[in-house]
Structure 1
Amino acid sequence: MKRLEAESAGDDRLVQRYEIPPRPPRFSPWPEWVPGAVREAYLQLGVEQPWSHQAQAADLAYAGQPTVVATGTGSGKSMAAWLPILSELTVAQSEQSTRISAVRHRPTALYMSPTKALAADQLQSLLGVIAAPPQPLPVLAGICDGDASREMKQWARAQADIVITNPDYLHHVLLAGHPYWVRLLRSLRYVIVDEIHSYKGVMGANMALVTRRLLRLARHYGADPTVIALSATIKDAQQVFARFLGVAPERVQAVTEDGSPAGSRHFVLWQPKIIDFGAGDGSGEFGAEGAPPFLAAAEQLLREREDEATWALTGVMPGSAPDDDLDEILGITSAEEDAASPARGMEFQRRSLNLEAAWVSATALLEGAKTLTFVRSRVGAEQVAKLTRRELRINHSALADAVAAYRGGFLPEERRELERQIRVGELHALATTNALELGVDISGLDVTVTAGWPGTRASLWQQTGRAGRAGSGGVSVFVASENPLDSYLIHHPDAIFQEVEQSTFNAQNPYVLGPHLCAAAAELPLTEADLPLFGLTDDKILRQLAERTLLAKRPAGWYWNATLSLRAHELADLRGLGGNIQVVEEESGTVIGSVDEASAHRLLHPGAIYTHQAKAFEVRALTDSVALVRPFKQALTTRPTERTSVEITDEVSTWRSEDDLVTWHWGATYVLTQVTDYDVLRTPRLQFVVNRKLDLPARTLDTASTWFTLDPSVPEALGLDAASLPGALHAAEHAMIGMLPLLAICDRADLGGLSTVSHTQTAVPTVFVHDAVAGGAGFSRSGLQQARSWVEKTLRTVEECPCEMGCPACIQSPKCGNNNDPLNKEGAIKVLRFLLPRTPGPDRFDPSQ
């Protein structure tokens, strides 16, 4: 911390520093029902007494109460879940000699984790308890997921008292093949759902329905399991847990008072270093080298960014890809090329997010701190690890070899080895995606660095909770990126310290519910008694599925149509990513990766440069299932243009301002997107080379949107003519999309939008913000429910941004299909100021409409 303060003296990087005070422990006696052998096992691991929340939650679960434990990161929530089943199994074993049935029907438990890393970590910690001296507990635990060997899964199915798995395996294998799992299901006593706060949006709806189907099958086989949910960061835990199970809130219990100790922690708000393009005395005289100061600054910035930009965008390191004869290779004429400098018109520029995060990480390492750096993408993890190593080598530190990346896409054994190395001290730092955000126990960390807003306050506090676990102190640094939300938060930190967001998901979304009803019918025929479990009051949706020949109505209930060529369990997309397009190397036929269908046209269109594991490939052809690629060694990248149109199909809610000049709407919409062309850019400076046209079909999305319309007289009253209005609406749309994640549990990537001066249906200026998932996920509706706060925060962010024309910190969008053209910052401010007093506040909008 002292080194960060010293290094930032004289600049504006260290925005604010907070100290979170320590918290003393609160203990409770062991519950009377915990047998001595289980107490002794925990005692050998250093646990003399449970913390108060552990004892309270374990008591509730043992009594058969569905219980959610929502306490801080590192507070030992899993112990509360393990105590009941370990105790019951130990007692069952002691009764073996007198009750033979206890051997056949030993109680079982199923633990469900959102990630394989967390599942593997929980298995290891559980095995540590089971094997603790003086005598191992009579408990068998095993894991069943995509990383486990076939033999391990077969053993767990046949023998394990406790099965650890994830929702994907549960859905596709265990539930689909439930007759093979009768031993587990008929004795299922506890279902443990870990990190329940991570189940949000479409994924949350899917996981809720998978859990309900599990409970349905267990009850079919005669069991009545108690569900225990665990979460470090969740708002209104009781309400969320009840909605997850599809029951009334009074039927579940919530434990939220944290009895675990916590050391003093420092939380730092940080922004990247400014590289001033206007540096100098302002006289206009050249420096000693005969170059204007702003050009020297521009060259410094480009040198700093060259390695990372080239690597991140093309997978080609500087110097390894000569661009001689590129024009001849591509057939580009001199008239098509535009070599405009990226420095033109820039007043100042901050160092890139990944460079700054790497510098902060290296600084912490040089102070002897074990560090975990969270980034937003797989490429970013590799990049930050590489840049951190480079910074350490510049400082002649041997620690450069103790830094690694951790991300999805690694082999299971590679991930387990990295986890082991950081635990035992062979590695001192990991740059990771949110794969390590959840409850993996990596003890001894001193510092966490969060590079860019992780999407929610819940995720931020999950990440910062990695520093100073087990009651020790720690430091967490949030490094702001250049986007509207980060810019707002870094200068309005009160928004960071508000209560975490409530988990938002809709298990009645027909696009999600329909496939699960099909899967449930394939498992067991659906009857009238099953309707409440799925939140249904009638069989309308079942009749609709039957009309599509997916289900068949018979006297015993609704059956899956087994004559179809597809499996019922293939219909549900649990994580809301759609199907996958395989990326295949053309010459060898090797599958090198995959991309979800929704992103395929943007990332894998013919001619696109696709990057995988630091290697660049050119896409030669794209079909519905496969993209053929070949290695590409030139210093180029591609940028697609995407056109969007929106059709309003059902206007559900409407609110009109008192002067009738602004109307807010929410309802069902039909979004049509088409990738029409792409730019070829020369890296690392992203110089425009040529534009190429594409002939790709449009993609459609049935979703939900919030939109507002302006009376035709408004633009003239605001001084916006025909030339400035499109850019004003477009900029306002970008800024509003950028700020909505502050109010709804979502990421910017979960949203889309459209602005138009005259929509085909409304015939007036209109701005749409839609959920970028089929059926909608509640994000845009949350915006309308909090419209006053949404517009106010958006306006403040745009007004306070120091740029003149607009930048990534206010109105530019990294995913704009029109390449951020046109944009009008001044016009956006006028529109947002006009909107603010004409938005439905919480006292004026009824969310139940």
Structure 2
Amino acid sequence: MVATGELLDALLAGGRRADRMTHVRHLPARAGVRAPWPTWADPDVVRAYRATGVSEPWQHQATAADAAWSGRHTVLATSTGSGKSLAFWLPALTAARGAVASGTLDPGRIESVARRATTLYLCPTKALAAGQLAALDTLLGAAALRDVRVATCDGDTALDERRWVQEHADLVLTNPDFLHFALLPQHRRWARLLGSLRYVVVDECHAFRGVFGAHVGLVLRRLRRVARSYGASPVFLLASATTADPAASAARLVGVDPDDVVAVTDDASPAGRKTFVLWQPPPLPGADAPWTDLLPDEDPWATPVAPPAGAARPDGGGPPAPDDAWAVADDAWHAPASGTLPPVGPGPDAPGAAGSGPLGTGERVVADAHDGPRRTATAEIADLLTDLVVAGARTLAFTRSRRAAESVASATRDHLRDVDPDLARAVSAYRGGYLPEERRALERAIRTGELRALATTNALELGIDISGLDAVLVAGWPGTRVSLWQQAGRAGRAGADGLVALVAREDPLDTFLVHHPESIFEAPVEATVFDPANPYVLAPHLCAAAAELPLRAEELDAFGPSTSELLAELVERGALRRRPSGWYWTHAEPATRLTDLRGTGGDPVRVVESATGRLLGTVDAASADATVHDGAVYVHQGATFVVDELHLDDGVALVTRRDVDYGTWARWVTSTEIVSVDEEVPWGPLTWGFGAVDVTTQVLGYQRKRIPDLQVLGSSELDLPARTLRTTAAWWTAPAAVVEAAGVSVEDLPGALHAAEHASIGLLPLLATCDRWDLGGLSTALHADTGEATVFVHDAYPGGAGFAEHGFRTATTWLRATRDAVAACPCPTGCPACVQSPKCGNANNPLDKAAAVRLLDAVLAHAPETPPAA
């Protein structure tokens, strides 16, 4: 391990880069607190842990393991690297070993034979399951425990291996997708496992949020129901990052009362002193004129905006949502899961306010100076990573995209070749789309020290066991504080000191955060938001449950209070049949095909080298048009390939190895078309609408840009099909008279609509119990279908998921909360707490906070006293 002081000095380049560090925070070390091994723990399992270096468990591990052993559903929400796996494997292995022992007390007496207790381990990714299998193999091998059979089983598992797992495995490691598509529909083949099911482990459960979280929650309800039919009542053990109210989130996921869940949140593992640096890349040469020179000297709209009375500002953060036309429907911060609106923040003149009101409202303006274009975060990260590697640090550099991970790794290797070619070979990229064996090899290499650095996407954010790292670099705000602290937790694991640097991208959100550290260090982490009672999600799972076992009236409470009404609708539509004994699925096709847990939009596209037939990796179907189109440059571990042909029907992109000095950037267009107006409510001169929309995206061509200066070398057109998402949306229009009454000019209207769109998407989770990943939107000064300025907010799922509809039902409350949150925010011109977005397709431009407030006031002046009736 390298001393943190030396690493910080390497980061600052002996002071030459000191002006780029906007803030440094030293997080104190924490001493570990041990606890004795539980008396019920199997001695051989304890011996195995001791053989691997665990003399005694940490207090939180022992507390969680005790709760689980006593039969209580348990959620352990502690920091990255705190050893959460011991808390669930200790009772699971003890249960399996105990059954083995009791079954061998007297082989001649049949009454001494007991079922072997089984455990089902679920995690978001196959990589996590593979990592846990490796850790368990090491643990069991340390004490030569060969009577506990552990196996992974997922969609890639061969049929003969799957049969062995069904017949023999004690601990089965898999994911919710396999549970949904294979295990539960074929539960009779898994009768041995299900009938003996003692524990269900749900790892990294904070990753199950939004619609995906709702799907997983319903899969777990189906699992409990099927297990109960075999006489089992498993205990659920959940491992989570530090989140708000983990007991409530865990209970909602599993489908039990929060009082039935034990939450263990006091982290007793040791933590070294962590140095956390906020960093802004320097301005590009020749671009030093401050953008604030463009602000008007006088305020033409001298009408103060009166903020509402209230206490704390809405807090929390959320991941970005899908793209829209003016901007990505994204939003700044994720609100708590609640059906009621919290009070908004202090007024512009409140003590400690960052400014004194939005520009354009007549109030005194305090605007931070904002320089022109700055160096990219990826280029800056490559320099910092180079210096850290030279200093001997083992480092992870988190990036926001696969392209960025490859770019950072390649640039870092180029820098290091001038210093030491051996060091250049110690840096690699890590991302989704690599083959499993490549990922495992990279994980082993960084774990053993063979590699000193990995440039990675968030694929290494979740629980893969990589310890002993000195530093973590984060290129751009990852979307939530939960993600930031998960990534930061990779530095200084096992109680050692560590260095973390958050490097701002060219984005107002990132700029705001690195200059306002309180938004990171003083704000609480977000809650995990999802709604298993969402009828759009629940309906296909009720069909799947009925296909597994006919649904009985006494079982309906487990799926929520609206289940009876939803079943009646499914019967009316012919999806299910009602009989005196329950509800039945009577169709030939599998009911599980009615839903896609992750909404990926199809099978991945395989990237194959034309000359050899070698499979290089895969690309998500949704992004294939933009990343592996004809002529695209595909980068794999620093080697460049050019795509010869993309065969969409076959799901294959054929590539040829070629050294090129350029990259390719796709160019696309997105539009939103109203398909049907299901409901419409007039607000005086303007209109609120709800109905089906087609959100269409089409890749039109691409540019070739020289690397590294990104000079455009040429462009090409492409003939690719348009991709259309049929979903549901709520929208409101602003006719010219309303815009004029708001004092919003033609030039300012796009920024006003864009800001209102961002803020309204940010507030909808307060009412609709959704996540920003679940929403999209569009704002335009003139929409072809309405003929007026229009703001759309749509569900980001095929057919809709009910969120936009809920916004329509509560339009007055929703829009008023949006206006109040924007007006009450003390920033002068817009920030992440009001109108900026963590992932905006137009880099948060244009945004006009003051014009948005005036426009929302003009719209709300026509609002009815009550929302539209359901």
Identify the residue that residue 669 of structure 2 maps to in structure 1.
641
Q: 3, 23, 27: which one pairs with 2:10? A: 3
The answer for unaligned runs of 5 or more in structure 2 is: 1-7, 290-369, 808-812
How high is the sequence identity, in percent, across the aligned residues? 42
**Pairs within 5 Å for 1:108-187:** 108-133=118-143, 136=145, 138-146=147-155, 148=157, 152-187=161-196
User: Following TM superposition, by how much is the alpha carbon of 1:558 offset from its aligned partner in structure 2, in angstroms?
Assistant: 2.3
Identify the residue that residue 207 of structure 1 maps to in structure 2.
216
User: Following TM superposition, by how much is the alpha carbon of 1:348 offset from its aligned partner in structure 2, in angstroms?
Assistant: 3.6
Provide, for residues 14-34 of structure 1, a one-character-per-residue CA deviation record: whole Å limited to 9, x for no partner. Answer: 111111111112223332322
User: Following TM superposition, by how much is the alpha carbon of 1:593 offset from its aligned partner in structure 2, in angstroms?
Assistant: 7.1
CA 1:647/1:235 → structure 2, altered by over 3 Å: closer, same or farther?
farther
Q: Does 1:223 align with 2:254?
A: no
User: Following TM superposition, by how much is the alpha carbon of 1:785 offset from its aligned partner in structure 2, in angstroms?
Assistant: 9.4
Aligned partner of residue 439 in structure 1, secondary structure: coil
Instruction: Return the TM-score normalized by structure 2.
Output: 0.76
Provide, for residues 679-737 of structure 1, a one-character-per-residue CA deviation record: whole Å limited to 9, x for no partner. Answer: 553433565967969795672432455x6665754533554344x25433454257648
CA 1:52/1:474 → structure 2, altered by over 3 Å: closer, same or farther?
same
Q: Does 1:553 align with 2:578?
A: yes
d(CA) in 2 for partners of 1:61, 1:835: 51
Please say if residues 727 and 795 of structure 2, whose CA atoms lie closer than 8 Å, have aligned partners that are also in contact.
Answer: no
User: Following TM superposition, by how much is the alpha carbon of 1:113 offset from its aligned partner in structure 2, in angstroms?
Assistant: 1.3
User: Following TM superposition, by how much is the alpha carbon of 1:37 offset from its aligned partner in structure 2, in angstroms?
Assistant: 2.8
CA 1:792/1:366 → structure 2, altered by over 3 Å: closer, same or farther?
farther
Please say if residues 403 and 427 of structure 1, whose CA atoms lie closer than 8 Å, have aligned partners that are also in contact.
Answer: yes
Aligned partner of residue 176 in structure 1, secondary structure: coil
Aligned partner of residue 566 in structure 2, secondary structure: helix
d(CA) in 2 for partners of 1:389, 1:793: 48
d(CA) in 2 for partners of 1:579, 1:703: 21
Aligned partner of residue 142 in structure 2, secondary structure: coil
Letter in 1 for 2:29: P
Please say if residues 204 and 463 of structure 2, whose CA atoms lie closer than 8 Å, have aligned partners that are also in contact.
Answer: yes
Please say if residues 670 and 700 of structure 1, whose CA atoms lie closer than 8 Å, have aligned partners that are also in contact.
Answer: no
Q: Does 1:406 align with 2:427?
A: no
d(CA) in 2 for partners of 1:461, 1:586: 38
**Pairs within 5 Å for 1:598-613:** 609=632, 611=634, 613=636
User: Following TM superposition, by how much is the alpha carbon of 1:278 offset from its aligned partner in structure 2, in angstroms?
Assistant: 4.3
d(CA) in 2 for partners of 1:536, 1:384: 50
Letter in 2 for 1:97: L
User: Following TM superposition, by how much is the alpha carbon of 1:425 offset from its aligned partner in structure 2, in angstroms?
Assistant: 1.2
d(CA) in 2 for partners of 1:747, 1:66: 25
d(CA) in 2 for partners of 1:215, 1:812: 37
Please say if residues 375 and 381 of structure 1, whose CA atoms lie closer than 8 Å, have aligned partners that are also in contact.
Answer: yes
Q: 565, 576, 596: which one pairs with 1:540? A: 565
CA 1:544/1:36 → structure 2, altered by over 3 Å: closer, same or farther?
same
Aligned partner of residue 461 in structure 1, secondary structure: helix
Aligned partner of residue 513 in structure 2, secondary structure: helix
User: Following TM superposition, by how much is the alpha carbon of 1:427 offset from its aligned partner in structure 2, in angstroms?
Assistant: 0.9
Provide, for residues 455-499 of structure 1, a one-character-per-residue CA deviation record: whole Å limited to 9, x for no partner. Answer: 211111111111111111111111121223222222222222211
d(CA) in 2 for partners of 1:261, 1:27: 10
d(CA) in 2 for partners of 1:431, 1:728: 35
Please say if residues 12 and 18 of structure 2, whose CA atoms lie closer than 8 Å, have aligned partners that are also in contact.
Answer: no
CA 1:600/1:29 → structure 2, altered by over 3 Å: closer, same or farther?
closer
d(CA) in 2 for partners of 1:652, 1:236: 38
Aligned length: 755
**Pairs within 5 Å for 1:340-355:** 348-355=372-379
Q: 391, 398, 405: which one pairs with 1:367? A: 391
CA 1:834/1:527 → structure 2, altered by over 3 Å: closer, same or farther?
same
**Pairs within 5 Å for 1:203-602:** 203-278=212-287, 348-396=372-420, 398-497=422-521, 498-564=523-589, 567-580=590-603, 582=605
Letter in 2 for 1:617: V
d(CA) in 1 for partners of 2:692, 2:826: 28
Identify the residue that residue 86 of structure 1 maps to in structure 2.
93
CA 1:457/1:776 → structure 2, altered by over 3 Å: closer, same or farther?
farther
Provide, for residues 8-54 of structure 1, a one-character-per-residue CA deviation record: whole Å limited to 9, x for no partner. Answer: 64664211111111111222333232233333332223323222211
Letter in 2 for 1:39: V
Please say if residues 798 and 829 of structure 1, whose CA atoms lie closer than 8 Å, have aligned partners that are also in contact.
Answer: yes
Please say if residues 480 and 490 of structure 1, whose CA atoms lie closer than 8 Å, have aligned partners that are also in contact.
Answer: yes
User: Following TM superposition, by how much is the alpha carbon of 1:386 offset from its aligned partner in structure 2, in angstroms?
Assistant: 0.9
CA 1:742/1:694 → structure 2, altered by over 3 Å: closer, same or farther?
same
**Pairs within 5 Å for 1:753-768:** 753-757=777-781, 765-768=789-792
The answer for unaligned runs of 5 or more in structure 1 is: 281-345, 802-808
d(CA) in 1 for partners of 2:762, 2:157: 41
d(CA) in 1 for partners of 2:667, 2:418: 34
Q: Does 1:616 align with 2:642?
A: yes
Q: Does 1:787 align with 2:818?
A: yes
Letter in 2 for 1:124: A
Higher relative contact order (CA closer than 8 Å, sequence separation 6+): 2
Range with bigger deviation, 459-468 or 376-385: 376-385
User: Following TM superposition, by how much is the alpha carbon of 1:69 offset from its aligned partner in structure 2, in angstroms?
Assistant: 0.9
Identify the residue that residue 97 of structure 1 maps to in structure 2.
105
CA 1:220/1:162 → structure 2, altered by over 3 Å: closer, same or farther?
same
CA 1:710/1:741 → structure 2, altered by over 3 Å: closer, same or farther?
closer
d(CA) in 2 for partners of 1:650, 1:716: 29
Identify the residue that residue 715 of structure 1 maps to in structure 2.
739
Letter in 1 for 2:31: P
Please say if residues 580 and 595 of structure 1, whose CA atoms lie closer than 8 Å, have aligned partners that are also in contact.
Answer: no
Identify the residue that residue 732 of structure 1 maps to in structure 2.
755
Please say if residues 407 and 435 of structure 1, whose CA atoms lie closer than 8 Å, have aligned partners that are also in contact.
Answer: yes
Letter in 2 for 1:236: D
CA 1:651/1:13 → structure 2, altered by over 3 Å: closer, same or farther?
farther
Identify the residue that residue 49 of structure 1 maps to in structure 2.
56
CA 1:64/1:777 → structure 2, altered by over 3 Å: closer, same or farther?
farther
Q: 700, 705, 719: which one pairs with 1:683? A: 705
Please say if residues 208 and 507 of structure 1, whose CA atoms lie closer than 8 Å, have aligned partners that are also in contact.
Answer: yes
Please say if residues 80 and 463 of structure 2, whose CA atoms lie closer than 8 Å, have aligned partners that are also in contact.
Answer: yes
Aligned partner of residue 276 in structure 1, secondary structure: coil
d(CA) in 2 for partners of 1:374, 1:845: 47
Identify the residue that residue 319 of structure 1 maps to in structure 2.
none
Please say if residues 694 and 725 of structure 2, whose CA atoms lie closer than 8 Å, have aligned partners that are also in contact.
Answer: yes
Provide, for residues 614-643 of structure 1, a one-character-per-residue CA deviation record: whole Å limited to 9, x for no partner. Answer: 4333667766x7688787989765412222
CA 1:543/1:581 → structure 2, altered by over 3 Å: closer, same or farther?
farther
**Pairs within 5 Å for 1:22-37:** 22-37=29-44
Provide, for residues 575-611 of structure 1, a one-character-per-residue CA deviation record: whole Å limited to 9, x for no partner. Answer: 1222247579899997987666655676788x78584
Provide, for residues 29-83 of structure 1, a one-character-per-residue CA deviation record: whole Å limited to 9, x for no partner. Answer: 3323223333333222332322221122112111111111111111111111112
Range with bigger deviation, 364-373 or 248-257: 248-257
User: Following TM superposition, by how much is the alpha carbon of 1:437 offset from its aligned partner in structure 2, in angstroms?
Assistant: 0.7
d(CA) in 2 for partners of 1:598, 1:650: 28
d(CA) in 1 for partners of 2:597, 2:612: 29
Instruction: Return the TM-score normalized by structure 1.
Output: 0.78
Aligned partner of residue 23 in structure 2, secondary structure: strand
CA 1:104/1:387 → structure 2, altered by over 3 Å: closer, same or farther?
same
Letter in 2 for 1:615: F
d(CA) in 1 for partners of 2:14, 2:685: 52
d(CA) in 1 for partners of 2:472, 2:141: 32
Range with bigger deviation, 707-716 or 644-653: 644-653
